[in-house]
Chains A and B, each alone.
Chain A
Amino acid sequence: MTKMIYAGGRAASAPLLGHETEPTLFEISSPGRSAYQLRTTGIPAVPLSDVIPAAHLATDVVDIAEVSERDLVGHFTRLSHRQFSVDLGAYPLGSCTMKYNPKFCDAVAADPRFNTVHPAAPAALTQGWLELMVTLEETLCEVTGMSAATLQPAAGAAGELTGLLLMRAYHEANGDVRRRVIIPDSAHGTNPASVTLGGYDVTTIPSDERGLVDLAALKAALGPDVAGIMLTNPNTVGLFEDEITEIAAAVHDVGGLLYYDGANLNAILGVVRPGDMGFDIVHMNLHKTFATPHGGGGPGAGPVAVSSRLVEFLPGPKATRLEDGRYDWTTPSRSIGRVHGWHGNAMVLARALAYINVHGGDGLTRVAQHAVLNANWLKKRLSATLPAAYDRPCMHECVLTSSQLKADYGVRALDVAKSLLEEGFHAPTVYFPLIVDEALMFEPTETESVQTLEALAVALETIAERSRVDPDAVRHAPQATPVTRVDEARAARHLIPTEDAAQRA
């Protein structure tokens, strides 16, 4: 590198500096103002009371807000300026795969020939959508090494529960009553919550000193009442479970199934496939791996792919290619039923297919390679400042620990994360996984440049140095953001979930 290249992903120049609060929409409301305009219909106007009996009519007016279009635009634009986003800067939030979301995929989804289609329109009018869904299903099966998939689940957790119901349907069809599902102690919280809703008990097994599944502990926990195991691989510590073949054999030996939590699929695209590792059920987070935007907390999409022995249980109806080349809806013979009101988050599915088709098979492999390259580079670059929790090669994310900063200066992982916000970066995930002390989990993703990673490392070194000379400043960071640290205890103790509650308070 011969000339200085500034980091493309550092957002410290953003004017996130307003220190006044933005009024709520209700506070800028003025009686009598309005913004809306509707079609001229020519339908004779009659009072509502002429068509709907009085017993059903409201006696009070439901107050919404009364604003002009200009004020509406000003308000929500200012709110948007009080919000960090991938488009603004690097978002190395571990476990969340906050990669760049290509604008092209949004443009595909904005096409009215896709987004004005009614979900209950007859199949003859929706052949393009059905073909898209069949193609995506086939593609996801190739990526995961599975036989068939449902696209209905609206998010990863919905996929998990769907997968557990498939597990249950499979065992029940075999006349096999099973009671427990095994989960490592490093698992995402959605895993045990989904197991409970799937009607199973959770058995938690410890991780070993390498941060991996303790095979002996797993074998001790296995038995004929075990329905299956839920694993993330690479796991939530960012490490590959290298004994996966032995794990799969042990679980299959007792008649259990292996569930793959696809939260970390970005690490292995084109390198390893869950099906080839012995998994029977896989959910994917299209909003992570396939770059569909996360929307501030959704919409996502959590398709579930399964091995051949589970295909007949998949949710339905599902888009299917008929022998004559047309497409229609069919329901698998022993389907567990619907898991979504319609066909899943269709627009997210369209975006994901567009992303996959731009990359192709080779491109997806490059995605995984560079995600892993970036994480390993950052891990090594920071080794003197924030050592890795486990001294092994990581996959797409690395878990570092700030336990030394805590011991030496009383600076916690949370303080480091908060300080990073005013250095122009989003914070990493902190205190997860639960098994690592003062955990800081960084997932740089493949779309950040080495210059951005270097700037991130320098920012963390700066914070570490500041922890030594002025730990109070770190403990009180951030100061340059729209608000400083918020009183979470007060929010829970004096709950104010609406404007009406605020006015009563």
Chain B
Amino acid sequence: MPDYLPHTDEERESMLAFLGLESIEDLFDHVPSAVRLAGGLHLPAGKSEPDVAADFDRLGSANRGTTANLVCFAGAGAYDHEVPAVVRALSSRSEFVTAYTPYQPEVAQGVLQAIFEYQTMISRLSGLPIANASLYDGATALVEAVNMAAGATNRQKLLVSSGVHPHWRAVVRTFARGTGHELIEVPLVDGITQWSAVDTRGAAAVVAAYPNYLGVLEDLSEAKAVAEESGALFIVGADPIAASVLRTAGDWGADVVVGEGQPLGTALAFGGPYLGLFACTEAQIRRLPGRLVGETVDTGGRRAFVTTLRAREQDIRREKATSNVCTNQTLMAVTAAIQLGWLGTQGLRDVATRCAVGAHYAHDQLLEISGVEDASTQPFFREFAVTTPLPAAHVLSRLTDEGILGGIAVSALATADDPSLPTGVLDRTILIAVTERRTREEIDQLVAAFAKAVK
């Protein structure tokens, strides 16, 4: 009977005797028998760790990870970046892994200082002065951002570029059921948001993505102007790797920056746990969701860190809180600080440059294949969209046979009527991402396999 309990039979008997009880079931005598579970749980009997490991071995064998035999050109918001041994080792330290939320700062300076360093890095990459201690993922960070905008403007209308990842838009749509926000998805033409296609008056938020989910770098000046004219907050979903070499979202005039932090040291991990990035202007700080770490001093005058502006939070403000977030993704934030520390100023720029150069190398060769067309003619960063003569899922399946995860079919992310692409094109569109981990040889193999697959 495997478990992790320390109690010996003798100790259990003596503890029960201390309580004046005869059996351990007596502890539950005050639970009405009408609701008690008779006969126990209908679950398989417990197994030893090695036996459970054998079951997981079978499950693992039924997956194809992006390891040696499946070269990854898949992105769509989750990217195959280098995570070195040193980052994995430090972020696996059990002091970080098995701690609770840092409610007792005297014995939580490790996590608190790491979050402070993370906040600093995210603030700089966002181009905004305040970054919180993390949210669940990019999609839910956007939900918090639009809630912030609705609170700031006392309005309900959200203008969201359909260049924002389809899953993020879907999550915003789900939570709008409760908040009553009106979501308007602004169409793209050639990868560029058509803000003039919608009534922008009375908006709470104008939301753009940089780059957008098709990989396109849009000029954000128009979105900023729309936000200013309508009195909305300008929210940008920004890529933290791109932010090291491109204009920051803050530089484009964003009031709030959200992002998916997975590229900062977190494994692909089948979609989670990832990391919701969130930064904002000082004007919005009282509406900030989630935790914030601040610097202060202890009674001896030494520098110390502590969670601060706690009066915004649910455990104090209850139904008037800015957000219901409690547990967030601290370990991923600590990991991001370690990963960014490992890359450093120059390494992050190097990674970003290699992504952009590699993506353009792949793009230019793929476009030489007959029948492969650009889904957008606009500038891009590490990902781009192409259309093929055949359904995207079919092409990708043939690439998989060659040991290549050749990209993501947009049809796997969005419905056929999504306003981001013309009708009839979406199911023939593939997103292809190139990170600093892809070699020339791998890209050349992708191009050769692609040429065969679209014939």
Contacts and interface: CB of A to CB of B under 8 A. Distances in A.
A427 B105 CA distance: 11
A168 B269 CA distance: 32
A257 to B, nearest CB: 15
A332 interface: no
A76 B310 CA distance: 26
Contact of B438 (A41, A338, A364): A41
A294 B264 CA distance: 20
A294 B272 contact: no
B70 to A, nearest CB: 8
Interface stretch (B201-209, B325-333, B446-454): B325-333
Given A73-B86, A188-B315, A376-B19, A58 B245 contact: yes
B408 A483 contact: no
Interface string A265-302: 00001111100110000000101000101111111100
B139 A197 contact: no
Contact of B109 (A29, A82, A99, A421): A82
A38 B205 CA distance: 39
A164 to B, nearest CB: 7
B334 interface: yes
B412 A295 contact: no
Contacts of B309: 492, 495
Nearest to B311: A492
Contacts of A81: 95, 110
A254 interface: no
A298 B4 contact: no
B391 interface: no
Which of A29, A139, A295, A490 counts the most B-chain CB atoms under 10 A from its CB? Answer: A295
Nearest to B32: A242
Interface residues of B, number: 213
B31 A193 contact: no
Interface stretch (A152-160, A215-223, A401-409): A152-160
A272 B294 contact: no
A82 B113 contact: yes
Given A87-B98, A104-B53, A57 B247 contact: yes
B296 A193 contact: no
Interface string B45-66: 1111100110110111111111
Interface stretch (B8-16, B369-377, B416-424): B8-16
Contacts of B177: 165, 168-169, 199, 336-337
A205 to B, nearest CB: 14
B173 interface: yes
Given A52-B381, A490-B296, A66 B175 contact: no
Contact of A421 (B107, B120, B319, B381): B107
Contacts of A37: 84
Given A58-B245, A297-B111, A499-B120, A122 B63 contact: no
A116 to B, nearest CB: 4
Nearest to A285: B327
Interface in A63-79: 63-67, 69, 72-73, 75-77, 79
Interface in A148-195: 154-158, 160-161, 164-165, 168-169, 188-190, 192-195
Q: Chain A interface: which size bin?
A: 35 or more
A472 B67 CA distance: 60
A196 B119 CA distance: 28
A468 interface: no
A17 interface: no
B197 interface: no
A340 B136 contact: yes
Contacts of A41: 354, 358, 436, 438-440
Contacts of B353: 48
Contacts of B323: 193, 197
A108 B431 CA distance: 31
A295 B18 contact: no
Interface string B342-357: 1111111111111011
Nearest to B433: A118
A348 B45 contact: no
A482 to B, nearest CB: 5
A421 B111 contact: no
A496 B296 contact: yes
Contacts of A308: none
Contacts of B125: 62
Contact of A298 (B15, B78, B134, B251): B134
B239 interface: no
A116 B405 CA distance: 12
B304 interface: yes
A337 to B, nearest CB: 4
A119 B100 contact: no
A38 B357 contact: no
28 contacts: A36-B351, A41-B436, A80-B95, A82-B109, A83-B111, A96-B100, A121-B64, A131-B62, A143-B43, A155-B326, A156-B327, A197-B178, A242-B30, A270-B40, A271-B36, A291-B4, A294-B98, A298-B328, A336-B177, A345-B136, A346-B271, A426-B100, A491-B294, A492-B309, A495-B308, A497-B119, A498-B116, A498-B124
Given A52-B245, A111-B60, 12 more contacts: A40-B439, A48-B353, A113-B67, A116-B66, A199-B180, A299-B331, A339-B174, A344-B271, A346-B270, A359-B3, A361-B44, A495-B308
In the complex, the 7 A-B pairs of residues with the closest C-beta atoms, listed nearest first = A342-B271, A83-B110, A119-B271, A360-B46, A295-B331, A113-B60, A299-B273
